[in-house]
């Protein structure tokens, strides 16, 4: 028998909620850890984690700069490149 902590009603074993006050009973769920995984999945997980950590280096370089400033900087650099190419092509004439 499961006794409801809220109202004290005796419920049948396996009940998900109290039949009197409808209070949900919490289930104790065993959380899965990396140690519970098969060795194949562990190695895949660690490989993916390594790839993520390697890829996050570029993100960390620009993490302190707001996106708006990065976009402005990219537009300015792009404009400088285009103007430089135009100047180079016009100087060849």
Task: Show the tokens assigned to 52.
Answer: 């993520």
- Per-residue pLDDT at 7 exceeds 90: yes
pLDDT recorded at residue 58: 61
Contact 33, 45 (CB under 8 A): no
Write down the pTM of the prediction.
Answer: 0.36
> Domain boundaries in the chain?
65-93
Across the chain, what does the average pLDDT equal?
86
- Per-residue pLDDT at 56 exceeds 90: no
Instruction: Place 59 in a pLDDT band, splitting at 50, 70 and 90.
Output: low
């Amino acid at each position: 028998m499961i006794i409801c902590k809220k109202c004290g009603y005796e419920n049948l074993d396996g009940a998900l909620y109290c039949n009197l006050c409808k209070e949900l009973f919490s289930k104790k769920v065993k959380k899965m850890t990396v140690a519970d995984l098969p060795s194949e999945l562990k190695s895949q997980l660690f490989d993916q984690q390594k790839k993520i950590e390697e890829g996050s280096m570029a993100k960390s370089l620009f993490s302190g700069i707001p996106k708006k400033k990065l976009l402005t900087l990219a537009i300015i650099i792009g404009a400088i490149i285009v103007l430089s190419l135009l100047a180079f092509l016009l100087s060849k004439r």
